Amino acid sequence: MEVIHLKDIHKSYTDADEVRVFEGLNMSVLEGEIVGITGPSGSGKTTLMNIVGLVDRPDRGQVYVLGRDTMSMSEKELSAFRNENIGFVFQYHYLIPELTALENICIPILIAKKNASREDEKKCLQVLEYVGLSEKVSSLPSELSGGERQRVAVARAIINEPAIILADEPTGSLDRENKMKIMELFTSIRNRYRTTILIATHDMSLLKYMDRVYRIENRRLVEVNPSEG
C-alpha cells in the first residue's frame, strides 16, 4: 500500500526574496518502508518533512497521505489527521522541561482525549520500557543524557501507534553509539508495527539503515543507492 504520494509539488518561500525550494517534486513511499531524505543544507529536507507532515502546504501539487487527498482538508481536519496518524521526531527533542519522561510520552494521548486512563498510563510505561528507559520514568529531561532524551522523543512519537513517523535529523546531536541505538529503535518499530518511517539527514552513516534513499537535487527527488548516499 502506498502511504505517502506527492505529485508535482511546487513550493517557494516569498517572505523577503523568493526562494524556490521545489519544482515538480514527486515521491512515493510504501507501507513499512524506512526511507531516507538527503541533500545539502538548505536543499529542502525540513520543508519536505513539513509538507508530508501536513504542517505546511505546497503552492501547487498533490499530497496523498494514507490514501487521503489532504489538499482538500480543512486545518481542523488536518490537525486531527496529523495527531492520529503521524509521529514527529526532531533533532532537538522538544520535550517539555517541567514534565517527567513518562508525562512527556503521554502528551499525544492527552491531546487526543484530554484525560489519560489507567490503561493509557500502562501503555506509556510499556513504551518507555520498549525504548529502554524504564528506570527513568520520573526523570526530567534535564536529568537525561542526549541519547536518552531522544529515545523519550521517539517513545512520544510512537505512543499513538501512528502509521507514519517523520524524523528530521533525529540523530543530529548524538554520538555514534546513540545514533545507532536510535536507528535500531526505528528499525524495531517498523518491524513491530509496520510503521512507515521517513528520515531526513545529511549523515551518510545512517543510510545503511534505510530501505531506500532519496536525494534532493535540482528542486526534485532522485532515488540513490543507500550504500552511496
Ligand X SMILES: Nc1ncnc2c1ncn2[C@@H]1O[C@H](COP(=O)(O)OP(=O)(O)OP(=O)(O)O)[C@@H](O)[C@H]1O
Which three cell numbers, joined as nine digits, stand for 75? Answer: 486545518
Q: Please choose, out of 11-19, 100-108, 187-195, 207-215, the segment that lies near ligand X by the rule CB under 6 A.
A: 11-19
Main-chain dihedrals φ then ψ at residue 35, nearest 5 degrees: -120, 130
| Strands 196-200 vs 164-168: parallel, antiparallel or unpaired | parallel
Tell me which of 33, 35, 47, 70 binds ligand X, using CB under 6 A. Answer: 47
Q: Collect all residues with Cβ–Cβ distance below 8 Å to 36 and sequence separation of at least 6.
A: 199, 200, 201, 206, 207, 210, 212, 213, 214, 226
Q: How far is the CB of 144 from ligand X (least distance, A)?
A: 24
Q: Which residue is nearest to Mg ion (CB)?
A: 46
Residue 41 in contact with ligand X, rule: CB under 6 A = yes
Contact of 206 with 181, CB cutoff 8 Å: no
| Contact pattern from residue 189 through residue 208 relative to ligand X, giving x for each residue in contact according to CB under 6 A and a dash for the rest | -------------x------
What are the DSSP E strand ranges found in 32-71? 34-38, 60-65, 68-69
Helices first, then strands: H and E counts in the chain? 6, 10
13 binds, options ligand X, Mg ion, none, Cβ within 5 to 8 A by partner type: ligand X
- Tell me which DSSP letter residue 111 carries: H
Residue 217 in contact with ligand X, rule: CB under 6 A = no
- Tell me which DSSP letter residue 95 carries: -
- Looking at the Cβ atoms of 92 and 111, the one nearer to ligand X is 92
| Contact pattern from residue 17 through residue 56 relative to Mg ion, giving x for each residue in contact according to CB under 5 A and a dash for the rest | ----------------------------xx----------
Q: Collect all residues with Cβ–Cβ distance below 8 Å to 158 and sequence separation of at least 6.
A: 87, 127, 165, 189, 193, 195
Number of residues forming the site for Mg ion (CB under 5 A) = 2
Q: How far is the CB of 104 from ligand X (least distance, A)?
A: 24
10 binds, options Mg ion, ligand X, none, Cβ within 5 to 8 A by partner type: none
Q: Applying CB under 6 A, which residues contact ligand X?
A: 13, 15, 19, 21, 39, 41-47, 202
Q: Applying CB under 5 A, which residues contact Mg ion?
A: 45-46
